[in-house]
Structure 1
Amino acid sequence: MSPSPHEHFEFLLLDGFSNMVLASALEPLRDVKMRALYASPGWEITSLNGKPVESSSAIQVSPNRAFDPAKSTGTLVIVAGYRVRQQITKELLVAIRQAVRTARRVLALDTAAWVLAEAGVLDGHQATIHWQELDAFRESFPKVTVSSARFVQSGPFLTCGGASTALELTLDLIQTLFGPAAAFDASNMFIYDPARQSELKRGSQQLQDRGSPKLLDALNVIAENVETPLTTFELAERVSLSERSLSRAFADELGMTTGKYYKLYRLQHARYLAQETRLSVEQIALRCGFSCASALGRSFTREFGRPISAFRPPNRNGPSDGTACSV
């Protein structure tokens, strides 16, 4: 499946949902929207009646609108938690069956697989659920092949258990929809630890099943060498590949040259620093491997279509040196 730049996500929240599960699925999408140049996911929150939904920790979330199965034409994400059985009504099951017919795919997080199974749409499919419900789920729905895997995809359905598995499922889906580069960047945002990525199989290691090991090694090296970028030759040498083999891996698996990805990574980091810190543009340039502010500014505007100052929150524009220089 080739990466697509656009995808709409609808998060249907049921009372008792876990804030942590919701954040694990939603925040990586926010990161993709903020940082990935060639991906633009959108999302909205819905509830069954359009009224605020209360999480398991008594935090109320106001939805964008009431759930309308006819509008579920993209990716429907159902987030349930405690008391899921008590919330299942005939009206809900009818709506879920209709939504399944119109949605491109359906994600069921935490205990939400119970809703899908009760609606009968998981019959003949493989699925999983929160580990506390696995035995009861298996006993209650014999037509569903119940798995203890961290997350499962079966046809249009993706199911998982708690928050950590929701994060893994979301990163896997981001790779499918928006490409390995977007998934790698989102993974780094939430679980990046340069000293322990390899040990814990974090960062780009999350993509091990999809990306070649040498490419994944190269992506980690890039993430660790932003302030002083390596040449393509040096990068290839670090991962024990020839420049030609490394270039072929980037072209085949990420759809861009090694240098293009490396520069995009640095520019995305510059955008993050502009949004989140009080560093001057000159300081940001140096931290992202550019010789000066004007060199960063030219590259930034060329890629993003707007100057870096446009990404500054109010009152956070620091001094910069506009002296001409080279990249």
Structure 2
Amino acid sequence: MPPNQPPLFEFLLFDGFSNMVLASAMEPLRDVRMSAGQDVAGWRVTTLDGAPVRSSSGLQITPDGVFDERQGNRTLVLVAGYHVREQVTPALLAKLRTATRAAKPVLALDTAAWLLAAAGVLDGHTATIHWQELDAFAETFPQVEVSTARFVRSCAFLTCGGASTALDMMLSLIQDLYGSAAAFGASTMFVYDPSRQSELNRGAARLEQRGSPKILKAANLMAETIETPMSTAALAKRVSLSERTLARAFQRELGMTPGKYYKMLRLQHARYLSEETHLSLEQIALRCGFSSASSLGRSFSGHFGRTIREARGQEKPWVQRTRGSGRD
């Protein structure tokens, strides 16, 4: 991959795929790209012949192009759903063998692990699949170690079942590629209630395996007090840590100071309000803990690389193909 070129995710869709699965994998990447203020990830949608495909709910998707199994320098994301057995052909299996040699990593969502297993590339690996296919998958492919985990990483292959597990898998990959703070930000895009985030193991709870309970509590307090930010001293007192210990923990676990992380949350909320509401810039500033619109504007430009007025006036990046519902 040429220097400074963002990672390319290629979503190869098969008829019968779930809209929810596709959205759960693609939308976190969109959030990372928007939050970074520059292009740090790219993606395209392809089909085997470049023709439109239909999701499980009947939504027709027109791809960006035809799938080229010889292309390298990409993360290949296979998205299959119903009728996966009918899609197994010698021509497809040959393409997948070629493609998986060139692409690293390879993600198989929903029932797409069936296609990889049929191609023989999962032999000797551990994998999972949609729960409805687990038993049949194990019986059909004895060379694959079948797991009931939400998602499985085995060398270059990542496999998962339905939509919620696709989201978990993508957030884990984002954490590996861009850090815990990026994964936390992406995980909150659908859920805003901090208590609900914790209940669903999203938001700050996404850091549970790597973060200490004190840091999780501090991150949730930040999310709850965006409009009236606390001082670092007050925040440290609320979680029973010294300021110095809190700063060290944030630097170790999130790669930034508490103040920088706090401001990042506030700026992300400001970006959302600027793009999705008709609030004045002064009102947005007050709702995000800034003293004035000019203060917000300086911070916004420094973080996102564009002015808040430019963000407000830009074309909305809605992608219809990520909407809809399918099975989970």
TM-score of the two chains, using structure 2 as the length reference: 0.91
- How far apart are the structure 2 equivalents of 1:269 and 1:46? 33
RMSD of aligned Cα (Å): 1.9
- How far apart are the structure 1 equivalents of 2:209 and 2:37? 24
Q: What is the Cα deviation at residue 5 of structure 1?
A: 9.2
Q: Identify the residue that residue 123 of structure 2 maps to in structure 1.
A: 123
Structure 1 residues 217 and 6 mapped into 2: Cα distance closer, same or farther (>3 Å)? farther
Task: Give the stretch that moved more between structures: 136-145 or 296-305.
Answer: 296-305
Q: Identify the residue that residue 205 of structure 1 maps to in structure 2.
A: 205
Cα-to-partner distance string for 1:87-134 (whole Å, 9 max, x where unaligned):
111111111111111112011000000000001110111000001100
Q: Identify the residue that residue 291 of structure 2 maps to in structure 1.
A: 291
Task: Give the stretch that moved more between structures: 284-293 or 298-307.
Answer: 298-307
Structure 1 residues 314 and 82 mapped into 2: Cα distance closer, same or farther (>3 Å)? closer
Residue identity (%): 65
Structure 1 residues 305 and 34 mapped into 2: Cα distance closer, same or farther (>3 Å)? closer
- How far apart are the structure 1 equivalents of 2:303 and 2:192? 25
Structure 1 gaps of 5+ residues are 317-327
Letter in 2 for 1:58: G
- Provide the secondary structure at the position in 1 that maps to 2:41: strand
Q: Identify the residue that residue 25 of structure 2 maps to in structure 1.
A: 25
Letter in 2 for 1:73: N
Alignment of 1:1-327 (within 5 A): 6-37=6-37, 40-313=40-313
Verify the 8 A CA contact 1:39 1:178 in the aligned structure 2: no
Q: What is the Cα deviation at residue 213 of structure 1?
A: 2.5
- How far apart are the structure 1 equivalents of 2:178 and 2:140? 36
Q: Bigger relative contact order, structure 1 or 2, given CA contacts below 8 A and separation 6+? A: 2
Verify the 8 A CA contact 2:188 2:197 in the aligned structure 1: no
Task: Give the stretch that moved more between structures: 267-276 or 125-134.
Answer: 267-276
Q: What is the Cα deviation at residue 267 of structure 1?
A: 1.3
- How far apart are the structure 1 equivalents of 2:305 and 2:165? 36
- How far apart are the structure 1 equivalents of 2:109 and 2:158? 8
Structure 1 residues 200 and 19 mapped into 2: Cα distance closer, same or farther (>3 Å)? closer
- How far apart are the structure 2 equivalents of 1:112 and 1:254? 33
Q: Identify the residue that residue 324 of structure 1 maps to in structure 2.
A: none
Verify the 8 A CA contact 1:172 1:207 in the aligned structure 2: no
Aligned residues: 313
Q: What is the Cα deviation at residue 82 of structure 1?
A: 0.5
Q: Identify the residue that residue 326 of structure 2 maps to in structure 1.
A: none
- How far apart are the structure 2 equivalents of 1:40 and 1:13? 23
- How far apart are the structure 2 equivalents of 1:191 and 1:126? 31
Q: What is the Cα deviation at residue 30 of structure 1?
A: 1.1
Letter in 2 for 1:76: L
- How far apart are the structure 1 equivalents of 2:312 and 2:208? 35
- Provide the secondary structure at the position in 1 that maps to 2:195: coil
- How far apart are the structure 1 equivalents of 2:98 and 2:298? 50
- How far apart are the structure 2 equivalents of 1:258 and 1:206? 17
Q: What is the Cα deviation at residue 307 of structure 1?
A: 1.5
Verify the 8 A CA contact 2:69 2:99 in the aligned structure 1: yes
Q: What is the Cα deviation at residue 221 of structure 1?
A: 1.2
TM-score of the two chains, using structure 1 as the length reference: 0.91
- How far apart are the structure 1 equivalents of 2:189 and 2:90? 41
Structure 1 residues 304 and 137 mapped into 2: Cα distance closer, same or farther (>3 Å)? same
- How far apart are the structure 1 equivalents of 2:198 and 2:75? 32
Verify the 8 A CA contact 2:12 2:48 in the aligned structure 1: yes
Letter in 1 for 2:9: F
- Provide the secondary structure at the position in 2 that maps to 1:312: helix
